Structures are given as structure tokens and as C-alpha cells.
Structure 1
Amino acid sequence: MNGRHFAVKVGLSLAMIAATACVSATEEDETDSVDQALMLSLNPNADTWVQRTSAGFVDYGKSCELRTNDVHTAAIPNYILLKFPVPLTTVCSTLKTATLRLLADQGFGMPVATHWVANPWTPGGTGYSPNGCSTCNVASAGAAAFAMPGFGPVVTTTVVDQGCAWYKWDITAIAKRWCIGGNNGVLLTGEKNFEFTTFHSMESIAGTRPVLDITY
């Protein structure tokens, strides 16, 4: 082998080693980044849907469904409340995202908005629908008087336009409020539509219940 060919081969070998080193370093960086982003997926520890009637608020705390309509125009507005067992001391210092996911039972193009909740609440309704819960069939029974909490303005909105489909809301801003003032959950309202929307509740069957995904 002459000196020229040897130099070329050495040069190629060094280039390949350098390229391999770059790939390895990049892969290590990506792995470290993934390791630092932890996720929790939580089901609710309380949920209900609430009606504002002429006699006051009533709720359906043990219903298979969560129902809302246009709270601005409906004769009997319906509100949804959910609360998740978020370990605030664990996630708050590094909280990155909080995403609410709900499985729609019925959807007719209703914009559904999220709100932060100002004070604690407790579900009161005690009855199940006689038909029980199934994959895409939910109903309510057994209303009870309910102490409605205060809530803030719209944070995020998602249009729910079909049943048996999952929908998401970015509620990171609401979760950050929990870290400051305590976790009172999240409230959902229907907006600007004369139809209604229903979702599966925590009483529904496994795989259909609400989920809160938190990364931190």
C-alpha cells in the first residue's frame, strides 16, 4: 500500500469514528431529555354534572355521564365538574403540561370550554341510570341538591362534534393555579350552540373514564 492510499483510509476511518461519536452523543442527549419528563395519567376522584333549575342547583354525582349545554341560553344550564388526585407537592415545582381527556357519548358541534374552580365542592347525586353504563351509552338518575362553587372565565375551548371519540383540553394554566391556591378541579361549560354534549364519567366502564395527563 502506498502512502497516499494509507492516508485516505486513515482519514475515512477517523471521519466514521467522529460521525459515530456525534450520533451517540445525540442519542444520549435525547434519552436524558425523555428521562427528565415524567408523566402521570390520573382518573378523577370526584366528578358530577350540575343543573341550574328554578329551585336551585342539583347534581348527578353517581351518573355514568357528564352533560353540558349552552349555559348562556339554555332554560336549564348544565355544568360539568371534575377533580383529580394530583400530587401537588410532587409535580408543582417542575410542572410542564396538564391535558384533560374525555370520551364523548354525544356531540353535535358544541364548543366546550374549561374554567378554573374557585372553591371546594362535593357531589351529591346518588342514583345510577337503570340502564347502567356501556361503551357509548350513558344516562343519569338520582339528582340531589348541590352547592355550586364559583368559577373563573374560559381558559381553553374544544369543539365536540361526534360521539364515541376522545377530546382534549390543555388545562396547564388551571393546574398551575392548583399549585398556588389548592386543587378544586376543573369546570366545563357548553358555549354558543343550542345542542348539548355528554361525556363518560368516572362511574362509566374502564377505558372510557376521564383522564388527566400531567408531565413534569
Structure 2
Amino acid sequence: MPFPPKANGLFYNSLPPESIYNATPTALEQPFTPKMTVCEERQSLRKRYQFPEEPVDRYVAALSEMAPNCAFGPLENEMVRDQPIEGISSEGIRERLLSIPDFTLEKPLTASQQMEIAKKDAALFSIPDLTAAVQSTESTSFSSFRGTGDLLRPTPPCFRCGRASHLASCSNCHAKHARCRKRDKLGHFAQVCGSVKPSSQHEVVHSVSAVCFTDIRRYHIKTQC
């Protein structure tokens, strides 16, 4: 059944200057959309809590958008100001807001933003996984360097025969019971007589150990810095 001419005129005159095909569904829905009462709008405002990871400024902006539908009148700013105290998710920020005397809407917003920034900065320095990973990396690097230093430490040659494959204390050294032709002494070959002394063997070991320990200390200090 077609609409009367007068009704058609009212309908088409209410349409925005855009495509009639696109605007028709919206225009038809508006008269049938139930409008919330003032009590319902105020209840929605009181139940509007801060979402997880929602910044304070966005939360306050959402409250400000809901307030005009609540018909607070001159008390609108005060109602929007008081709602964050109940709806904010951080207990520390809530206590901070309650301690501000004669605060306006801008004061709790500024205080909340400052505390949020401080909280995020503090969280960066108290991440247990990151701290443990750094400590583990330093410990592993130091242990690996120490082990590498032990492997690279040169082995002094045997002062009995001159070979580097074993030490002078080796029971299989062929020069252990040999007689030196230069000095006519037992315990070493003539070819190494006077070139490698028992005392010099210990000096080489201590010297290399001191160098490795110094390098390890420098490496450890560098990783800590």
C-alpha cells in the first residue's frame, strides 16, 4: 500500500542529500529504535569501567561522550570527574585521585597519566625474564671464555727430551733414564741440555695463567658495563 502524498513528502524531505537508496534503511530504523531513558543512561555511565590496556585519557573521553545523555545539567562535569575514581582499574591511581583536594576534571586526568607513565617505566626495569636472560648470557659467556682460555693455554715442552707431547713427569719419556753427553747427568738428552730447565717450565705455566686471568677479568668487567 503506497504512502499518502503528504507522508511521502515528509519522508523524502527528511533524507540527507545523499543516495536515497543508501539513506532509506537508516531513516526507517530511527522511528523504531527504542530510546534509552535518563535512568538507563546514568546506569550505563556508572557501569562504564576502564578497559584493560585502555589509557586514562580515552576512558575519560568515553565518559564525556556519555554524559550529555544523562541530563546531569550543571553537575555534568562533576559526575564525569567522579566516575574515574570508581571505574579506574589501578588501585594506586585511585588512591592518588582521592588524595587530591578540590580537584577538577583536568587534575585527575593529569595525575592519572603521570602515574601510568611512571608505572610503565618502572615495569621496563623489573622484567624478571629479561633480567634472568642477561645474567644467564653473561655467565655463559664468561664460562665459555674461561674454558677457551684453558684450551688455548700452551703446553710447555718436556725438559728431558724437548717434545711437547708430554711433560717431564711422564713415565714413558725415553729421556728419563738417559745420560746427557754434555754434562754426564741422568734424566735428559744432550740436545735439550741447558735450553729448557725445570724451573723455566713452571715460570711459563705461571706466566700464561696470569695472562689468561687478566684477560678474563677485563672481559668480565666489559660485559658488566
Pick the structure with more helix per residue. Answer: 2
Higher relative contact order (CA 8 A, sep 6+): 1
Q: TM-score, normalised by structure 2?
A: 0.26
Larger radius of gyration between Structure 1 and Structure 2:
2
